[in-house]
């Protein structure tokens, strides 16, 4: 068994070791099979469900590009278009069509050839991977990491390496590695025995693996605010400064179910992760503690702009320090620097961020947190009966009313006509029905205009 495999544990039951099969890893304890995607272990607690969800999201991304290209072709039929507008639209439609083939090639390990449902079906049955983590959520970061972001990449690496100091950690874990340039730079410069980069997103890791192995990956960049017509969509060549040193490994998995044995690492780095994890930080930091050997270091790098449903879970730096202390860490230190963030040379859009680097050392074990569950088993496994929750009953009534309203849309009835029918059906008075119908149709109209998050 390789040193890398010795670190792994089942993300479903925590048992180890995982047994190497021809094209998968197997857990003898819970009998789970974890596929290898281009050699990258796909270590989610429910691998079949997670892989199906990523396939679905890829399918929807592709269909959306195809629909956008078709919509542009329809717009090109409009008379009296400005000539620059025509050139821009033609270029954009062509780029969308070519991008579909680029994505299919990069993500070929995710086979979607059997997916035949139409676009409306996939929009209706939204998946529940983290809502803020679509397949292309951090798409621009890949271009920053491997094309135009050298200044930002170097500054980021400098901050983390400065926090590491004179120590030479043998085993490093980068949780939420994204496009993985920071993980690459740390591995190349610090020269540990092993670096493991874990991320939830297959587009990011499958691309990064090929890039680090010396390939040049071609993908279009779509700048937020292109400086001219020709830069509306630009085919970029993503490549690394050199082939990654030995000892670098990728894992597709969830940081909330990190598939590693306790104490597996000397250093855990969390870049731009703490404030987007869909779990209270007081539960997540003990998970980091569990991954570290005694005396091991935890370094966090990035923003502390928490997005949580509860106000109490949107922590500031002082609270993060206290959470680290109560979770078995000491010697908490922090530094802050202003640096460029996502400043594409093709775009007028870009930011300067005040980025925080924190460092702390594990001096005792933290209480083991409860297993994180984003969704109940009756959704994830689909075997137990779906409970008749009050929420579902309320939604069922609203859905029936919405379906009734949509059934009234025939191209002839006005909002006032429809309100009168709702009153005749004794669903609600027309004085209430008219604003309710207008509000519902406004929401439907605006959501149709808003680009989906894939």
Taking the CA atoms of residue 329, residue 331, residue 336 and residue 337 in that order, the dihedral angle to the nearest 10 degrees is -110
CATH of domain 139-362: 3.40.50.150
pTM: 0.85
Look at residues 200, 194, 170, 251 and name the one whose alpha carbon lies nearest to residue 8.
251
Q: Which two tokens stand for residue 25?
A: 């890893």
Could you give the CA distance from residue 7 to residue 291 in angstroms, rounded to a whole number?
A: 10
**Residues recorded for the chain:** 454
Could you give the CA distance from residue 101 to residue 257 in angstroms, rounded to a whole number?
A: 33
**Which residue is listed with tokens 């299919």?**
104
Could you give the CA distance from residue 160 to residue 34 in angstroms, rounded to a whole number?
A: 32
Could you give the CA distance from residue 130 to residue 150 in angstroms, rounded to a whole number?
A: 29
Look at residues 196, 370, 200 and name the one whose alpha carbon lies nearest to residue 287.
370
Phi/psi zone of residue 382: left (φ > 0), alpha (ψ -120 to 50 degrees), beta?
left
Judging by beta carbons within 10 Å of its beta carbon (0-12, 13-18, 19+), is residue 66 exposed, middle or buried?
A: middle
Q: pLDDT tens string for the chain (454 positions)? A: 899 999 999 999 999 999 999 999 999 999 999 999 999 999 999 898 889 889 988 998 999 999 999 999 999 999 999 999 999 999 999 999 999 999 999 999 987 554 444 444 433 433 345 555 678 889 999 999 999 999 999 999 999 999 999 998 999 999 999 999 999 999 999 999 999 999 999 999 999 999 999 999 999 999 999 999 889 999 999 999 999 999 999 999 999 999 999 999 999 999 999 999 989 999 999 999 999 999 999 999 999 988 888 899 999 999 999 999 999 999 999 999 999 999 999 999 999 999 999 999 999 999 888 877 666 677 766 788 888 887 777 777 778 778 888 889 999 999 999 999 988 988 788 888 888 888 888 888 887 766 555 5
**Which residue is listed with tokens 């700048």?**
223
């Amino acid at each position: 068994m390789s040193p890398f495999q010795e670190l792994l544990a089942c993300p479903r039951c925590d048992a180890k070791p995982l047994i190497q099969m021809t094209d998968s890893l197997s857990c003898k304890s819970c009998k789970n099979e974890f596929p290898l995607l281009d050699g990258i272990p796909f270590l989610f607690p429910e691998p079949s469900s997670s892989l199906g969800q990523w396939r679905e999201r890829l399918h929807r991304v592709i269909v959306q590009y195809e629909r956008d290209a078709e919509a542009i072709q329809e717009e090109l039929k409009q008379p009296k278009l400005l000539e620059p507008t025509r050139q821009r639209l033609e270029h954009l439609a062509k780029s969308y069509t070519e991008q579909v083939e680029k994505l299919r090639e990069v993500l070929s390990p995710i086979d979607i050839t059997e997916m035949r449902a139409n676009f409306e079906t996939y929009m209706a049955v939204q998946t529940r991977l983290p809502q803020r983590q679509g397949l292309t959520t951090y798409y621009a970061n890949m271009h920053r990491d491997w094309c135009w972001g050298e200044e930002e990449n170097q500054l980021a690496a400098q901050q983390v390496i400065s926090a590491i100091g004179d120590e030479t950690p043998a085993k490093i874990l980068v949780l939420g590695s994204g496009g993985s340039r920071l993980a690459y730079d740390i591995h190349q410069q610090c020269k540990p025995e092993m670096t493991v980069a874990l991320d939830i997103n297959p587009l990011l890791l499958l691309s990064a693996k090929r890039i680090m192995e010396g390939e040049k990956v071609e993908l279009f960049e779509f700048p937020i605010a292109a400086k001219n017509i020709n830069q509306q969509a630009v085919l970029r060549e993503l490549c690394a400064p050199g082939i990654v040193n030995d000892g670098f490994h990728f894992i597709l998995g969830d940081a909330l179910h990190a598939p590693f044995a306790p104490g597996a690492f000397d250093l855990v780095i969390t870049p731009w992760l703490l404030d987007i994890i869909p779990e209270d930080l007081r539960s997540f930091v003990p998970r980091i503690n569990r991954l570290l050997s005694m005396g091991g270091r935890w370094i966090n790098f990035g923003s502390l702009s928490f997005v949580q449903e509860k106000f109490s879970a949107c922590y500031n730096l002082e609270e993060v320090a206290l959470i680290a202390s109560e979770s078995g860490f000491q010697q908490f230190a922090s530094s802050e620097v202003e640096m460029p963030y996502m400043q594409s040379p093709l775009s007028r859009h870009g930011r300067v961020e005040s980025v925080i680097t924190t460092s702390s050392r594990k001096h005792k074990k933290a209480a083991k947190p409860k297993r994180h569950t984003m969704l109940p088993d009756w959704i994830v496994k689909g075997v137990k009966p779906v409970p008749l929750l009050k929420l579902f009953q309320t939604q069922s009534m609203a859905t029936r009313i919405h379906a009734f309203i949509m059934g009234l849309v025939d191209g002839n009835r006005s909002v006032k006509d429809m309100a009168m029918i709702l009153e005749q059906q004794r669903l609600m008075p027309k004085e209430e029905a008219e604003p309710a119908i207008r509000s519902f149709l406004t929401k439907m109209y605006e959501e149709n205009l808003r680009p989906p998050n894939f």
